[in-house]
Amino acid sequence: MSTLATSSLLHWPRTLFARLALILVVGLALAQTCSFLLTMRERDESMTNVMVGYVEREVASSVALLDHLPPNERAEWLPRLARRSYEFILGPGITDPSGTPPDAALAERFARSIGDGIGKRYPLTINGVLGDKDRFQAHLRLSDGSPLTIDMRPMSGTPLSGWLPLVLVLQLIVLGGCCWLAVRVATGPLKQLARAADTLGPDLKGKRLPESGPEEVAHAAKAFNAMQDRVAMYMTQRMQILAAITHDLQTPITRMRLRVDVMDDDSTGAKLQQDLKEMESLVKEGVTYARTLHGTNEAPRRIDADALFESIVDDYLDAGQTVTLSGRIGGALMAPPQALKRVLGNLVDNAIKYSGAAEIEIASRNDGRAVISVLDRGPGIPDESLEAVFEPFVRLEGSRNRQTGGTGLGLAIARQLTLAMDAALTLHHREGGGLEARLVLNQAK
């Protein structure tokens, strides 16, 4: 199997929750398994030691008893002296040396134990039994020369109780549940922090995190809430500065326009009037953009989408502009109506400004979102500038420059209002030339 295939099989989980849960569950399961195996090994060893000691004492006493009994009475005592793991046979037994005990160390241990118990008076020989992997025999001769065989069937392992596997499974389930709970408690604050960051929109009115819980979590929540407050304060101060500048500039601009009106030089006065109009437009657009950075104070509500678009197109037609509408949504939209009209107005104005006409196409998608496309046949925008034009005060060279009017804030304002509506605004090249401004927003449920 290739390295790529192996890496795909060993895919590391993407979420922190899954990674921590996997590490803890696997680690604790391995630790539990090792502990169980060590316990069972120790249990087997203890049971073997007990059994070896027991065999040593019992076999020694049994051999001594049989040695003192008359030969004709020994057969009667054999059933009484038999045990679960061994029995006595009067005779040579199976003396085939080719038989090898399955566990030579265990057989040697039992033989040494039996030898220690009966002493050197009875020399022992041991061999396995062919065809029976759990059996071996010890051979000796009694004082009168009669052969005696000890047929051994030692238990090489300790039998498991029937309830033990069930207990092990329950232990693993409990460990898995505890790991899941621990990881959820550990990663829950991170998920809340990410959710709060996602909901922090242009209006800077995101959900505040509860400043409770463990010390680290409470500290992170306090830091995040303080960050929201500082950012909101900075944005408010910036808007107040722009608003103050606008207000203060209105008076000198008005005075300058009055003085231009009484100038004798008409050509110079007309140029100055144009410059003053551009200054006034730039100041107003700057304040509007600053306000859109805080989102919109207008609450979203259900809008009859088709009626809204028809009214917008009618307004442009009444003004003598070439604007067409095609398609239907057939339902309501959930959006602030004035903000939506401002966005569409900016897009349509751009299309008219650079191509002389605008086409509006609307459609409803299966995912519950509506698509509004504003199309033109203008010169278009280079690929590298499709995103740059949404930045404030960005003007493109060529046909889309200051000479065509505008302050470079129209698309920036449209993008900010779009973000406040939880919508998406993108620009695309149109087949056959021109530009498509695509607005995607939620339909009302």
CB 304 within 8 A of CB 338: no
Task: With both helix axes pointing from N to C terminus, report the angle between 74-81 and 16-68 in degrees, rounded to the nearest 10.
Answer: 160
pTM for the whole thing? 0.49
Same domain (yes/no): 312, 374: yes
Same domain (yes/no): 125, 78: yes
Whole-number Å distance between alpha carbons of 61 and 102: 27
Other C-beta atoms within 10 Å of 76: how many? Answer: 9
Same domain (yes/no): 131, 74: yes
CB 360 within 8 A of CB 436: no
Q: In a structure prediction context, what are the per-residue pLDDT tens digits for the chain, which is 445 residues long?
A: 444 444 444 576 777 777 777 888 888 888 878 887 887 777 777 776 777 777 777 777 888 888 888 888 888 888 888 887 788 888 887 765 555 554 566 666 666 777 666 666 777 777 777 666 667 777 888 888 888 888 877 665 556 666 777 887 888 888 888 888 888 877 777 777 777 777 766 556 667 788 887 787 788 888 888 888 888 787 777 777 777 777 677 777 777 877 777 776 677 777 777 777 777 777 677 666 666 665 566 778 888 888 888 999 999 999 899 999 999 888 888 888 888 888 898 899 889 988 889 999 999 888 888 899 999 998 888 888 888 888 877 766 544 444 454 566 778 888 888 887 888 899 999 888 889 999 998 887 7
CB 114 within 8 A of CB 59: yes
Same domain (yes/no): 279, 368: no
Q: Provide the CATH number for the domain around residue 117.
A: 3.30.450
And the tokens for 162?
A: 């029937």
Letter for the amino acid at 342?
R
Last residue of a domain, one of 290, 320, 351: 290
Would 283 be classed as within a structural domain? yes
Q: How is residue 397 annotated by DSSP?
A: S
Whole-number Å distance between alpha carbons of 236 and 226: 15
The domain tally of the chain equals 3
Taking Cα atoms as reference points, which of 308, 317, 307 lies closest to residue 340?
Answer: 308
Other C-beta atoms within 10 Å of 309: how many? Answer: 22
Residue with tokens 């203060």: 248
Query: 22 exposed, middle or buried (CB, 10 Å; 0-12, 13-18, 19+)?
Result: middle
Same domain (yes/no): 337, 423: yes
Q: Which helix or strand (DSSP H or E) is residue 141 part of?
A: strand 136-141
Same domain (yes/no): 352, 384: yes
Whole-number Å distance between alpha carbons of 34 and 17: 26
Which range of residues forms the domain containing residue 350? 298-442
Q: Give the torsion sign (CA, 439, 442, 444, 445).
A: positive
Whole-number Å distance between alpha carbons of 276 and 274: 5
